[in-house]
Amino acid sequence: MCGGRIPQPTHSAGWVGMSMVSVPFGKGQVKFELPPGMRGRLAESKPLPPLSQIGEAVQQALAQPVGSPPLRELAKPGHKICIVFTDMTRAVPDHLLVPHLLRELEAAGVRDEDITLLCGTGMHRASRPAEKAAKLGQAVVNRYRVVDHEPQNPAGLVDVGTTQSGIPISVNRIAYQADLTIATGTVEPHQMAGYSGGRKTLAIGAGGRDFIASTHGPHMLEHPGTRLGRIDGNPFHEAVTEAAQRAGLRFILNVVQDDQKRVVATCAGEPSAAFLKLVGVARNLYEVPIPHQYDVAVAGVGFPKDQNIYQASRAASYLFFAPTPVVKPGGCIIVPAPCPEGAGQGAGEQHYYQIMRRAADMSSLQAELRQKGYPPGAQRAFFMAKVLSENHVIMAGSKSPHIVRDLHMIPAADMNEAFLIARDRLGRADLDVLIVPHAMITLPIVQT
């Protein structure tokens, strides 16, 4: 079963006048008012009370997992165990989840030295020691082996066949060779997977470079089934599911979080069954109806995803690739984000930056990437080329305005300047503005 009682949420969306509005910015907030003449609507995920006793809820989920025996029965003394967790670009509360998994393994008689905690970096940069400690807790880092996945290191990968659609699968050797592989994650809207969490932490976070490249290629991104909020008929979701099964993922512990990153539900067990349980909760929480498309949208991000432009720009593409694009063609998407790391420091982030930087225009870039393909990470360039071909994207408050320009977006010093730019680009002041404080997880559904 899932840990904690799951109450039913109610919709949260309403008009915004001249009153002050705030959206996440780094670890804090940025406050602003709409300029005279502009009309605003706030779109937020529906309120759900957070779990008051998270530890008890996690213990309950582990004691009564969905579709699986408890970990204490799956794990045996002498087993090699791998727990795959997400890196700092994902706000998964692993410091709340992993210690409970470790206690279950200890109760099963598994020795500390037989447990490896694998940071699923995907194509992002390696995690830093302080980030590992923040993710897991210093006591866990001191006691157990904690390593980063290396997607471009052939010696650290194992080829495990192909998916039914022909995608070659490779996965981290430690995860594959373990007697029991476990993954944590958070279930929330995802541009390609429909909903993240479940098998994705292992399949992508600990996948090989070629698998990541294939699943993020143009043929996948342009498939009509690869959409936010969609699982059935989604080829990306299908590939991730197959990869995780072949890699031997047997157990997950996932959560659903609200806009404030508070846990509202948790579930453990067989990867597919536990994931689908939480998808049901996530749909009720995150999907919010809106009456029509808007001239302008403010797409809030917040820490940790607004630390670089690669991640922060996802807010714009999420609103664009909603079931119906949230912003009208020719409209503006404003993303307030400090981005102290510039474009991003990982290999994937740098691929994105270099490809976008040298592009002459977005139409020709799309044609080039569709024809020639691209390395892992550069799928963000393909996404953003589509967004920028129809909408202006304004990055407000970025510490790297020159990099914003390199990426064919418009830098603004603050929100006031961003609204002035939007007014100038659209040629009028009476603009309809949708404010989405948490654009990475709130999924506005246009009611047409």
pLDDT digits over 157-177, tens only? 999 888 888 899 999 999 999
**Per-residue pLDDT tens over the stretch 315-374:** 999 999 888 999 999 999 999 999 999 999 888 899 999 999 999 999 999 999 998 888
In whole angstroms, give the CA distance from residue 213 to residue 259: 31
Cα 54 to Cα 263: distance, rounded to the nearest angstrom: 7
* Fold category of 10-44+291-446 in CATH: 2-enoyl-CoA Hydratase; Chain A, domain 1 (3.90.226)
DSSP string, 97-162: HHHHHHHHHHHTT--GGGEEEEEE-TTSPPPPHHHHHHHH-HHHHHHSEEEE--TT-GGGEEEEEE
DSSP β-bridge partners for residue 334? 298, 394
Q: What is the pLDDT of residue 150?
A: 85
Portions of the chain given CATH number 3.90.226.30:
10-44+291-446
Flag the least confident range among 16-25, 116-125, 383-392, 405-414: 16-25
pLDDT at position 1 is 54
CATH superfamily ID and name for 54-285: LarA, N-terminal domain (3.40.50.11440)
Q: Are strands 263-269 and 2-3 parallel, antiparallel or unpaired?
A: antiparallel
Distances from the Cα of 107 to the Cα of 102, 185, 305, 386, angstroms = 9, 23, 36, 51
pLDDT value at position 260? 82
Closest CA to 180 of 64, 73, 59, 60: 73
Q: Which pLDDT score, from 0 to 100, does residue 15 have?
A: 56
How far is 87 from 128, CA to CA, in rounded Å? 10
Confidence of residue 394 (pLDDT cuts 50, 70, 90): very high
Residue 57 clears pLDDT 70, i.e. is over it: yes
Please tell me the predicted confidence (pLDDT) of residue 312.
96
- Contact status, residue 382 vs residue 221, Cβ threshold 8 Å: yes
Opening angle at CA 414, ends 412 and 415, nearest 5: 100
User: In this model, does residue 282 exceed pLDDT 60?
Assistant: yes
Q: In which residue ranges of the chain is CATH 3.40.50.11440 found?
A: 54-285
Confidence of residue 209 (pLDDT cuts 50, 70, 90): confident
Read off the pLDDT of each residue in 266-294 and give the average, rounded to a whole number.
95
Mean pLDDT of all residues belonging to the chain: 91
